[in-house]
A and B are shown apart, each in its own frame.
Chain A
Amino acid sequence: MSIQHYQSIFGNAATEVRQFNTLFVIFLVVCAVMYVAVIAFLIAGIARRRRAAEANTVEEGRHHESDPAMRTGLIAWGAVVGTGLVALAIASFVADRSMANAAAHEKLSITVTGNQWWWDVQYNAADNSKMVRTANELHLPVGVPVRIMLKSNDVIHSFWVPSLAGKQDLIPGRDTDITITPQKVGIYRGQCAEYCGAEHAKMALVVDVDSYPDFIKWWQHQLQTAPKPTTPLALAGYNYVTSRNCSACHAIAGTPASATVGPDLTHLASRRTLAASMPMSEGNLYGWVADPQSIKPGTKMPTIGLEPNELHAVVAYLETLK
């Protein structure tokens, strides 16, 4: 199922981005007025002398006193530009202030850790049994302000979902955070906005804004451990995944695989995207597991070189991880 994701600034799906839109319109109007004034003055200058005869150049240049009207024009222009900029600065401070205040009282806390070329998402909860760990995807309840703590394991990334809020960098050694209050249910796509190496272009994430009951249902589902495989093919896949290469980097709750080097795969098949860039589908799963280096050259996941039967088994098992 190809997902048409909405990554435009005018997605208008959260309070933060709505303030952005009003401020952006104010700035556009004032700047357009200034631009029209400049172009009008330019055209006036061009048209005005079109008819003047070719007077003697040298004589004309020397005794030229500019008429006083232009002096007042200069002062007026300076005043207009000055007040315009002061007005825009005040508008910007007001919007900035109201955004900062909105961030005061948030109810949900998530920690997003940036790695080279994927997002490690952790839902913080009071007791650890309620903690949920997923990757490249965020589920947010509509109307509930959420505070996202941003950390990085390697280089500087930038968390940016255009339809929800402004971007915020993830800097190793510094803790930054961002507050989002989604207002519209829907699927919104975001991308890393700070150049972070070979696969910076394929480090996307999807934010799923659900109604509160759906969100709770999703949370409960995420808390369950991975279902036991039933079909023999899935069982063969289970044996491969939990004993061979995959378990060196990935974790699947309820199985021996528990490495946190790579993303958590417990509910891989329930996610909308795969490898932070492609929609989740069987074809993409086959392509990615068989040879990740040809899809994201330079990514940390190696090309294992699975035999065809192993590949079918592994993909069959991964698809059971709903």
Chain B
Amino acid sequence: MSSRFRASLALLAVATLALAACDREERHSRAKPMGETVPAGTSPDTIWPGGTVPQTLDPRAKLYDNNAPAISQGQSLYSQMNCGGCHSHGGGGMGPALMDDEWRYGGRIDQIATSIAEGRPNGMPSWRSKLTEDQIWQLAAYVRSMSGQPSKDAVNSRADAMSATAPQTLTPRETVQTSDTAEQ
């Protein structure tokens, strides 16, 4: 085994270790709840009119935003909690459409989580007392996947149900124009 061969082996080992960082599939079934959900008591998430600096992203976001088990859990919650009753499969009905790029209350995951937790005028109920914040964030992650926001390898292509929409793995990413300038 010439030395060059041994060197290439070492390089391969280092490369494998470096890859160990990605945990897109980590199943966070946390035993302990993580403190208060969205800031209680303050008014529904402050919308940042004009150019003011948007609120820093909640640290929990990265646990849910591109996390495959969270999105899948959110998908089953979406049907169990009958969100389709108003939003149907994201196309909207009594409630606004969720698969387009229009976000009245912000399209970032923490803003969607706040919308679910606090409820919104014109009929969106507050789910804070019905769902734990773990579930709320999972629902938020799934809602974002309806408009193709998360990366394509975190979403699943179809549910085991009547196929209502095109597979999320093939839906192009909608550029999110919120009524404010929240960056993604």
Q: Do A and B associate with each other? A: yes
Distance of A261 Cα from B130 Cα, bound (Å): 13
A249-B80, A261-B80 known; A298+B31 contact, CB < 8 A: no
CB contacts under 8 Å to B, within A224-248, are 243-245, 247-248
Instruction: Verify if B151 is at the interface (C-beta below 8 Å from A).
Output: no
B160 near A247 with CB under 8 A, answer: no
Complex contacts, B33 vs chain A, CB 8 Å: 303-305
Chain B window 112-140, contacts with chain A (Cβ cutoff 8 Å), 1 for yes, 0 for no: 00000000000000000111101100000
Q: Once the chains bind, are B130 and A303 in contact (CB under 8 Å)?
A: no
> Contact at A305–B160, with CB atoms within 8 Å?
no
Q: Could you tell me if A303 and B131 are in contact, using CB atoms closer than 8 angstroms? A: no
In the complex, which of the residues A248, A249, A303 contacts B134, with contact meaning CB atoms closer than 8 Å?
Answer: A303
A300–B77 CA distance with the chains assembled, in angstroms: 10
Q: Provide the residues of chain A in CB contact with B29, threshold 8 Å.
A: 293, 297-298
Q: Which residues of A contact B (CB under 8 A)?
A: 154, 172, 198, 243-245, 247-249, 261, 291, 293-294, 297-298, 300, 302-305
* Cβ–Cβ < 8 Å partners of A298 in chain B: 27, 29
CB-based contact A303/B30 at 8 Å: yes
Instruction: Judge if B32 is at the interface, Cβ distance under 8 Å.
Output: yes
Cβ–Cβ < 8 Å partners of B130 in chain A: 244-245, 247-248
A304 proximity list for chain B (CB < 8 A):
33, 132
A303 to B131, CA, bound (A): 10
Is B81 close to A, CB under 8 A? yes
What is the CA–CA distance of A304 and B33 in the complex, to the nearest angstrom? 7
Which DSSP category, helix, strand, loop or mixed, fits chain A's interface?
Answer: loop
B132 and A302 within 8 A (CB): yes
Q: Which residues of B contact A248 (CB under 8 A)?
A: 81, 130-131
Contacting residue for B31 out of A154, A245, A293, CB 8 A: A293
If over half of B's interface residues share one DSSP class (helix, strand or loop), that class is named, otherwise mixed; here it is loop
CA–CA, A244 and B30, complex, Å: 21
Considering the chains assembled together, what is the distance between the CA atoms of A16 and B5 in angstroms?
64
Which chain B residue lies CB-closest to A304?
A: B132
B116 CB to nearest A CB, Å: 13
Q: Are A294 and B80 in contact (CB under 8 A)?
A: no
Residues of A within 8 A of B134 (CB): 302-303
Q: Which of A243, A245, A294 is B131 in contact with, Cβ under 8 Å?
A: A245
A-B contact pairs, 9 of them (CB 8 A): A154-B160, A245-B132, A248-B81, A261-B80, A293-B29, A302-B131, A303-B31, A304-B33, A305-B33
Residues of B near A305 (CB, < 8 A) are 32-33, 132
Q: Which of B31, B76, B129, B132 interacts with A294 by CB under 8 Å?
A: B31
For the complex formed, measure the closest distance between the CB of A51 and the CB atoms of chain B, giving whole angstroms: 51
Residues of chain B within 8 A (CB-CB) of A249 are 80
Cα-based distance from A291 to B33 in the complex (angstroms)? 9
Closest 6 pairs (CB-CB, A-B):
A305-B33, A248-B130, A294-B31, A302-B132, A261-B80, A297-B29
A198 to chain B: which residues have CB within 8 Å?
Answer: 27
> Please, what's the 1-or-0 string for B17-59, where 1 marks a CB less than 8 Å from any CB in chain A?
0000000000101111100000000000000000000000000
Q: Which residue of A lies closest to B35 (CB)?
A: A305
- The docked-state distance in angstroms from the alpha carbon of A302 to that of B132 is 7
Chain B contacts for A303, CB-based, 8 A:
30-33, 132, 134
Given contacts A244-B129, A294-B31, contact A302 B135 (CB under 8 A): yes
In angstroms, Cα B131 to Cα A245, docked, is 6
Residue numbers in A under 8 Å from B81 (CB-CB): 248
Within the assembled complex, what's the spacing in Å between the Cα atoms of A172 and B80?
Answer: 17
Give the docked Cα–Cα distance between A42 and B78 (Å): 65
Across the two chains, which residue of chain B brings its CB closest to A260? Answer: B80
